[in-house]
């Protein structure tokens, strides 16, 4: 398969995956673009992989994790009053967008590995072995990330109901 055909086929799913992973549409597009550039440069290696689609997702995850580590792209803004962060600034008539925003907020409370594992499992419908291949860890570690991540999400949801 040629790179152009492969990337055209994979692009929509990759951007959706990266969007859920990052919680930011623009960052997701940047991470996917960087991964596709690297995949094009090393296309022989990518095409030779058993599952090029998983190899590309691993590149997206690594790009996201690497982006989080780069100091020059970070911008930290201090806020004196954080009480309003959980409240929407304007009413959103689209419940789907509100639910996606809520999910993004919940996922933001997880570690990067937990978030990546949960997104790959429940959004991409990947099994433990595929997730382990993407994250570069053992399947048991994947199960641990998912278990701990789901526990953290349950706590967040329970705390959210109690504060209402």
User: Do 1 and 68 fall within a single domain?
Assistant: yes
User: Do 5 and 65 fall within a single domain?
Assistant: yes
Nearest CA among 121, 14, 114, 11 for reference residue 57:
14
User: Do 100 and 141 fall within a single domain?
Assistant: yes
Tell whether the model's pLDDT for residue 76 goes beyond 60: no
Tell whether the model's pLDDT for residue 90 goes beyond 70: no
Tell whether the model's pLDDT for residue 23 goes beyond 90: no
Do the Cβ atoms of 147 and 73 come closer than 8 Å? no
- Contacts of 60 by beta carbon, 8 Å cutoff, 6+ apart: 14, 17, 18, 21, 31, 32, 35
Do the Cβ atoms of 110 and 149 come closer than 8 Å? yes
pLDDT at 34: 92
| pLDDT tens per residue, range 33-67 | 999 999 999 999 999 999 999 999 999 999 888 87
pLDDT at 71: 46
| pLDDT tens per residue, range 107-153 | 888 999 999 999 999 989 999 999 999 999 999 999 999 999 999 99
Number of domains in the chain: 2
Tell whether the model's pLDDT for residue 164 goes beyond 70: no
Q: Is residue 79 part of a domain?
A: no
Tell whether the model's pLDDT for residue 100 goes beyond 90: no
Higher pLDDT, residue 157 or 118 = 118
**Domain hosting residue 46, numbered range:** 1-72
CATH code assigned at 99: 1.10.10.10
CB atoms within 10 A of CB 125: 8
Which of 20, 38, 72 is the endpoint of a domain?
A: 72
User: Do 100 and 160 fall within a single domain?
Assistant: yes
pLDDT at 146: 96
CATH code assigned at 1: 1.10.1740
Q: Record the tokens describing residue 6, joined without a space.
A: 């492969």
User: Do 40 and 98 fall within a single domain?
Assistant: no
User: Do 98 and 160 fall within a single domain?
Assistant: yes
Q: Is residue 50 part of a domain?
A: yes
Q: Is residue 52 part of a domain?
A: yes
85: confidence class by pLDDT, cuts 50, 70, 90 = low
User: Do 102 and 154 fall within a single domain?
Assistant: yes
User: Do 65 and 6 fall within a single domain?
Assistant: yes
Query: How far apart are alpha carbons 125 and 32 in whole angstroms?
Result: 19
| pLDDT tens per residue, range 58-71 | 999 998 888 765 54
């Amino acid at each position: 398969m040629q790179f152009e055909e492969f990337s055209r086929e994979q692009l929509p799913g990759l951007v959706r995956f990266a969007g859920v992973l990052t919680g930011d549409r623009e960052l997701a597009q940047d991470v996917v673009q960087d991964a596709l550039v690297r995949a094009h440069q090393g296309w022989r290696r990518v095409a030779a992989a058993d599952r090029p689609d998983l190899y590309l997702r691993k590149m997206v995850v690594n790009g996201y994790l690497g982006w989080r580590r780069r100091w020059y792209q970070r911008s930290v803004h201090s806020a004196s009053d954080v009480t309003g962060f959980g409240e929407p600034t304007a009413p959103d008539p689209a419940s789907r967008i509100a639910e996606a925003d809520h999910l993004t907020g919940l996922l933001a409370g997880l570690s990067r590995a937990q978030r990546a594992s949960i997104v790959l499992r429940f959004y991409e419908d990947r099994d433990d072995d595929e997730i382990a291949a993407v994250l570069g860890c053992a399947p048991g570690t994947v199960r641990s990330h998912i278990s701990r991540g789901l526990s953290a999400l349950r706590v967040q949801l329970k705390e959210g109901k109690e504060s209402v």
